[in-house]
Structure 1
Amino acid sequence: MKSVIRTVLCLMLALAPGLAGAQATDSSDDKTVMFATDDPEMAVATAKALASLDEFLALAEAPPSGTDRFKLKVKVRDGNVTEHFWVIPFRRTETGFVGILANQPAEVHNVVLGQDIKFDRDDISDWGYTLDGRQVGSFTVCVMFKRMSKEEVDTMRDEYGFDC
């Protein structure tokens, strides 16, 4: 059976101001979009994010004026199921990274919304931040737009500053 990755996009916690994990959320705010593990568009988006990851991490360590909401998308495995989540905020550790899971899990059961999770570089699939209210990065979100309704995409563009 073909393995499936569930990529989770959370409209409220991953994009709205404030600390993720410190806010209550209604799970109806989360959008789950399914992709096959070998989806070519998602693979290109992930490769683009990973190719520029070092520059993003350097920027996140010394954020310039007008930037905020630095986030990483990481994969979490639970048996044969993999789900991707935004982690906001995050920080480097001696052995990798730690941060707060900013999405409600849909398929994996070994993590919960608001939990501190540890992960390493190999778990990262995307990154993003805002610059003067506009999204930078978040390459996988632009791929997800192709599977979302026009209304959802328009809302994301209008309210959260996506240009894709």
Structure 2
Amino acid sequence: MGIFDKLFGNKNEKEEANEDKKIFYAQQDKNMEEAYLQAQQTFKYFWRELYWEYRRIVPAQDLAIVKIPFKQKVDELEEPIVEHMWINEINFDGEKINGVLMNSPNELTNITIGDTVSVWLDEISDWLLAIQGKTYGGYTIQVLRSNMSEKERRNHDNAWGLDFGDYDDILVVYEQREHPENLTEHPMAKNMAEKAREFFKENPNEIMTIDENGNNMLHRESIAGNKTTIDILLELGADKTIKNKKGKTAFDYAKQLNWEHIIVSEEK
């Protein structure tokens, strides 16, 4: 055995291939962890779009789903079984995300398709929005697409029936490239400003009506990042000091979700 073999070992091709696989999967795990974090940090844009979608008479979205890692402990296994599955019919109160399971589990027996689900924001692993056939979000999907050939990506996208675009350039809001200002505020907030002012003037009780979580209109608009509507509500006398059942004001949620345009305005 030569000196270099003694120092570094004499690995055969199979051992080297196994090491390459380990490195690849370790990087994949790291990329997926980063994707989970990005999805959690940008979920606010998903919710803002969905918040306005619920107000539309004619739907604009093709798809709005959230991915969650569901777990089940099995006695004979050290680690719990984990399956990442999608939910739809999404709602969000600033704390927890609620929805309905779309998938049938492959291994889990503690949940089934159609079950109502409620999780904290930092528990989700992805979100995906599709408008006019184009996707927004989908961070974990883009990690998978990044390791596909061009042909595989085409087949993947055709199977979904969606345009996932560039896996290195993930968009989070509609017409983001054409109108980067949409990252700051949803265009409907501005376009509907006068109608909103008129509505709240004619229906002042709506300003202070609270839901089951103790959130009033100011809370809900802050969670959705709608500064234009917030300004109108404050102009018409909304009380920004009111706290919900969790002891939080509307501004607390703006800070929690990092809606910078609201935070900057409030702190002036």
Residue 47 of structure 1: how far off its partner (Å): 1.8
2:162 maps to: 160
Q: Does 1:72 pair with 2:66?
A: yes
2:163 maps to amino acid: G
1:96 maps to: 96
Percent identity reads 24
Gap regions ≥5 residues in structure 2:
1-24, 74-79, 168-268
Encode CA deviations 1:24-68: one digit per residue, 9 max, x unaligned.
xxxxxxxxxxx77x8111112112212211222122111387334
Task: Give 1 or 2 for the bigger CA radius of gyration.
Answer: 2
1:15 maps to: none
Residue 152 of structure 1: how far off its partner (Å): 5.3
1:55 maps to amino acid: Y
Distance in 2 separating the partners of 1:105 and 1:147: 25
1:138 maps to: 138
Question: In structure 2, do the counterparts of structure 1 residues 153 and 77 end up closer, same or farther at CA, with 3 Å as the change threshold?
Answer: same
Residue 108 of structure 1: how far off its partner (Å): 2.0
Higher relative contact order (CA 8 A, sep 6+): 1
1:42 maps to: 32
Give the count of matched residue pairs.
130
Gap regions ≥5 residues in structure 1:
1-34
TM-score, normalization: structure 2? 0.42
Residues 76, 123 of structure 1: 8 Å contact kept? no
Distance in 2 separating the partners of 1:89 and 1:151: 33
2:41 maps to amino acid: A
Question: In structure 2, do the counterparts of structure 1 residues 40 and 91 end up closer, same or farther at CA, with 3 Å as the change threshold?
Answer: same
Question: In structure 2, do the counterparts of structure 1 residues 98 and 41 end up closer, same or farther at CA, with 3 Å as the change threshold?
Answer: same
Encode CA deviations 1:99-149: one digit per residue, 9 max, x unaligned.
111122123221112222222223211111112111111110111235668
Structure with greater strand share of residues: 1
Structure with greater helix share of residues: 2
Distance in 2 separating the partners of 1:49 and 1:162: 16
Distance in 2 separating the partners of 1:72 and 1:151: 27
Indicate the SS of the match to 1:128.
strand
Q: CA RMSD in A?
A: 2.8
